[in-house]
Structure 1
Amino acid sequence: VAPFNREIQKFNPDEWAELFQDTGARYVVMVTKHHDGVLLWPSEHTTPHRENYRANRDLVGDLTTAVRARDMKMGFYYSGGLDWSFNETPITNRELVYDTIVQTPEFIEYVDLHWRELIDKYQADVIWNDIGYPLNAPLQELLAYYYNTIPDGVVNDRFGQVTSKDLPEDEEVVKNPETGHSDFTTPEYSSYNRIVEKKWEANRGIGFSFGYNRIEGPDSYLSAEEAVRLFVDIVSKNGNLLLNVGPMPDGTIPELQVKCLQGLGAWLKINGEAMFDTQPWETADGKTAAGIPVRFTQKEDTLYATLLDTPDEEQISLKALKASPQTVIQLLGHDSPLNWQQNGNDIEVSLPASLITAPAHVLKINPAPVLGH
């Protein structure tokens, strides 16, 4: 902890917040305590099993101030089940992830006090627990306290008071066993292949690690193009993307991670209206006659059809869509409406000759067409 506390004096929360804002983020979720048990805020309640086991700087408060100054929401991740300062049992299989959740009365009081501290001191917009929660913890009282304090706050699905016996045998996505209340689900390094009615949030690192891993190189990280296509696919199915940033010891974000975020942000500056404040349409997936995947979102009477590649031809055909004669089709980033015609069950659209290569291109169609057959 001592080397960590020396390095964090260099951390610049405004640089982080500015990068997140430029990426297009609407909210930030900060790790306040991971499984190692180190606290990243000056809590009044520290582990009795380690001395000086917390940051000597209010990292949570500093980043919260910087994020909210840029009109983003602030949430907090907290490992409320695992804490290796209380239980050092090595985790050698998935079952032990849940069977090493600390169950002692001492720990139950400890995590409850921490959550209430984060709620009261920092006004958490999101409380994001991980793994699970002690079986005998007064969870319903905690959640009631949270909603009474932050009426529009939201809670993730990892407060399950579970053991390994609650692990599902078959999983559509990789997520923790869920019991009780949650506002959204959190598939990890995985995603749904269909529209899901309940709000969900895919979470993953830019690389293969939740944190900085110095052996990860370019092949381990999402490229900006991959991040754009991943985000588009998730949003079309009623999801959010929580993309983990793993900083180096001095708080700087590695260049390859920055490059990914900047590329995603540059795309969203042009095409963000097709992603933010939208809803899933009747179907998430479509394709062009040439086989380019398409993802759909809607906003009031407008349909956004996002092509997940750059077409080779200047004319594309959107399969199984029927538009009214009054329909106007625009390519986001271009001012003039596009020429189009209905050809049976398909819409044929003429694209600009100057179309640049991009991870995805968005057609704005108003009024929204209907599905053809």
Structure 2
Amino acid sequence: MLNFETRVGPDFGDNPPSYPERDVPEWYRDAKLGFFIHWGLYSVPAWATAHGEGGVPTEDAYAHHQYAEWYGNTVRIAGSPSWERHQEIYGTGTSYEDLADLWDANAFDADDFVSKLIGAGARYVIPTTKHHEGFCLWDTETTDFNSVERGPKRDLVSEIGTAVRGQGAKFGVYFSGALDWHVSDFPPIESDTDLFRFRRNDEHFAKYSAAQLEELIERFAPDVLWNDIEWPDGGKGHEDHAVAALLRRYFEAIPDGVVNDRWGVPYHGFLTREYRHIEDIIDEPWESTRGLGYSFGYNQAESEEHSLSGEELVRLLVDVVSKNGNLLINVGPRADGSIPELQEKAMNLMGEWLKANGEAIYGTRPWIRAGDKLAGSPVSYTRKGDDLFILANEPSVGSITLPEELSATTVSHWIGVDGTEIEGTVDASGSVAIPGSLHGQPVAVARVACGT
């Protein structure tokens, strides 16, 4: 996957645009866990090639795209599995955009839906407001291709935002800045090169995107602006509709807001890393994002073998946080607005674990290193003030070994399954037994005083 912060063209020479100076706010760094919601026309067919860890050959990656939310592109690649399946189910006369009239969100209750995300531990929630297909999920004045005029006949962004803020979490918006297949006339994207070649960069489209983003800011005051696949080059200069001016107005309206790194300009807030394992601490604030399976949009072809278990989800969260990151995990609802049981099962386990162990996650910062593979269970570290949390990733092993920096430590306190503390004693070799009651946990947590 690309590192978007490295894509910073075009070059304006000695007269570059002036970007606002903003640090990533502490609320974002403290939050640690957010939920993406990928929901759109692609949720109607809800299908993509199910890959798994092995993936497919590079030359087939787009014809066999693992992301169901890319169905609108994949279905245009003649002979692709999505193309063939679409003909079988919908017939040759049904276009992708015709699916808008088949989208029925009758099972969606925003308060109930959001309560499941909050219950899973989310501190911020970011729905897709417009994905690459160009279908807007709010009552926009820029196009009739939206969820109020067609399909659900509802302002889904407004419903989700009201529910999120009503339940005390931060609300952000995902927006596809430079890809909009509804107002473009390009061949299907079949390579990473095409991803940046087959998109509009003209001034008219840049103004269209800017008008939509301005609507989202004015109507929803999002705490996070999560842009995707850069911004049209016709909107990267000094103009009033360009990125620099948009970001200045955004921060004037929401001083404690934050943006990501996918704008294609020499400015970013937090870094994004998509479906990637990061080896060590990244000094800049960053965010790991992925689906619970191998797709963001719901893919009915995926089964348990393609999806993170609750235990794996907890360990992923611990790994990311120990390396100075936030985890933005995605839930992909069915078209009707219900959360697939496989996803909800993993979410529930993470939520239960966080109820007892959240103090080792929320509001923490990385220690001098992310973890160790000493004798006993491999461990990750997080720090809060003078407390060091040692997170044992394989509790069933039965013990951990303290790092040499803590050789003088004689007592540790384990966090029990109900959140109460269990005293643990360090033996002469620096080993600490993991209480038997924690052996079945995805991660067991000990607290020790570190003073650094």
Output the amino acid matched with 1:318: L
CA distance in 2, matches of 1:244, 1:254: 12
Structure 1 residue aligned with 2:216, among 118, 123, 129?
Answer: 118
Shift of 1:55: 5.5
Shift of 1:202: 0.6
Query: Conserved in 1, the CA contact under 8 Å of 2:378 and 2:400?
Result: no
The corresponding residue for 1:2 is 101
Q: Deviations over 1:44-67 (max 9, x none)?
A: 111699x95686211000000111
Shift of 1:94: 0.5
- Aligned to 1:129, the other structure's residue is in SS state strand
Q: Deviations over 1:36-88 (max 9, x none)?
A: 10010000111699x95686211000000111111100000010110001224
Query: Conserved in 1, the CA contact under 8 Å of 2:102 and 2:151?
Result: no
The corresponding residue for 2:92 is none
CA distance in 2, matches of 1:282, 1:324: 17
CA distance in 2, matches of 1:112, 1:42: 16
Query: Conserved in 2, the CA contact under 8 Å of 1:321 and 1:369?
Result: no
The corresponding residue for 1:28 is 125
- Aligned to 1:305, the other structure's residue is in SS state strand
The corresponding residue for 2:447 is 364
CA distance in 2, matches of 1:233, 1:48: 40
Does 1:153 find its partner at 2:153?
no
Does 1:331 find its partner at 2:429?
no
- Aligned to 1:186, the other structure's residue is in SS state strand
Q: Deviations over 1:93-134 (max 9, x none)?
A: 001111122112221111101111111100110000101101
Larger CA deviation: 200-209 vs 83-92:
83-92
CA distance in 2, matches of 1:248, 1:275: 30
The corresponding residue for 1:45 is 142
Query: Conserved in 2, the CA contact under 8 Å of 1:232 and 1:275?
Result: yes
Segments of 5+ residues of structure 1 without an aligned counterpart are 161-178
Output the amino acid matched with 1:111: S
TM-score by length of structure 2 reads 0.72
Query: Conserved in 1, the CA contact under 8 Å of 2:223 and 2:258?
Result: yes
Shift of 1:328: 3.9
CA distance in 2, matches of 1:129, 1:54: 25
CA distance in 2, matches of 1:322, 1:62: 50
CA distance in 1, matches of 2:324, 2:165: 25
Output the amino acid matched with 1:302: D
Query: Conserved in 2, the CA contact under 8 Å of 1:42 and 1:55?
Result: no
The corresponding residue for 1:163 is none
Structure 2 residue aligned with 1:106, among 204, 223, 227?
Answer: 204
Structure 1 residue aligned with 2:329, among 243, 258, 263?
Answer: 243
Query: Conserved in 2, the CA contact under 8 Å of 1:289 and 1:317?
Result: yes
Structure 1 residue aligned with 2:384, among 299, 308, 319?
Answer: 299
Output the amino acid matched with 1:157: D
The corresponding residue for 2:114 is 17
CA distance in 1, matches of 2:326, 2:438: 28
Instruction: Write 1 or 2 for the structure with the bigger share of helix.
Output: 2
CA distance in 2, matches of 1:201, 1:268: 19
- Aligned to 2:272, the other structure's residue is in SS state coil
Q: 1:341 to 1:244 in 2, by over 3 A?
A: same
Q: Deviations over 1:129-185 (max 9, x none)?
A: 10110112111000000000000000111111xxxxxxxxxxxxxxxxxx3111101
Q: Which gives a bigger RCO, structure 1 or 2 (Cα 8 Å, sep 6+)? A: 2
Q: Deviations over 1:193-252 (max 9, x none)?
A: 111111000111111111011111111111111111111000000001111111111010
Query: Conserved in 2, the CA contact under 8 Å of 1:46 and 1:53?
Result: no
Within 5 A, what are the aligned runs for 1:226-305?
Answer: 226-290=312-376, 292-305=377-390
Within 5 A, what are the aligned runs for 1:50-65?
Answer: 56-65=153-162
Shift of 1:16: 1.4
Shift of 1:358: 1.4
Q: 1:34 to 1:281 in 2, by over 3 A?
A: same
TM-score by length of structure 1 reads 0.87
The corresponding residue for 1:194 is 280
Output the amino acid matched with 1:262: N
Query: Conserved in 2, the CA contact under 8 Å of 1:46 and 1:54?
Result: no
Shift of 1:369: 6.7
The corresponding residue for 1:133 is 231
Q: 1:55 to 1:136 in 2, by over 3 A?
A: farther
The corresponding residue for 2:45 is none
CA distance in 2, matches of 1:54, 1:186: 32
The corresponding residue for 1:66 is 163
CA distance in 2, matches of 1:48, 1:307: 49
Percent identity (aligned): 39
- Aligned to 1:10, the other structure's residue is in SS state coil
Query: Conserved in 1, the CA contact under 8 Å of 2:395 and 2:434?
Result: no
The corresponding residue for 2:402 is 318
Output the amino acid matched with 1:110: Y
Query: Conserved in 2, the CA contact under 8 Å of 1:286 and 1:295?
Result: yes
Q: 1:194 to 1:312 in 2, by over 3 A?
A: closer
- Aligned to 2:269, the other structure's residue is in SS state coil
